[in-house]
Amino acid sequence: MERKTEHFFDGDKLSMSKLMNQLAQHPQDMEKILKYVYEKVEHFTEFKVKKEHLQEKYDHKMRDLYAEYMSE
């Protein structure tokens, strides 16, 4: 069985109904399915953390830029 993100997720949110459906359809692959979902959740979490960090750096640099050019 080829696993795709859309089989288990709505965007980057885990869909319990999709997960349960896949587990019901492929009970012999339960361990592989759960491992795949776990790795995807880790992947999405890492992405969100890095994205938030970049946003914080951007916000900080924008404040510095405004302070430098817009202060009187």
- Going by pLDDT thresholds of 50, 70 and 90, the confidence category of residue 1 is confident
What is the model's pLDDT at position 71?
A: 80
Q: What is the pLDDT of residues 8-59, one digit of tens each?
A: 999 999 999 999 999 999 999 999 999 999 999 999 999 999 999 999 999 9
* pTM value > 0.95: no
Backbone angles phi, psi at 23, to 5 degrees: -65, -40
Pairing of strands 9-10, 13-14: antiparallel
Residue 53 belongs to domain spanning: 5-70
What is the model's pLDDT at position 45?
A: 97
- Going by pLDDT thresholds of 50, 70 and 90, the confidence category of residue 62 is very high
What's the total number of domains in the chain? 1
What is the model's pLDDT at position 7?
A: 96
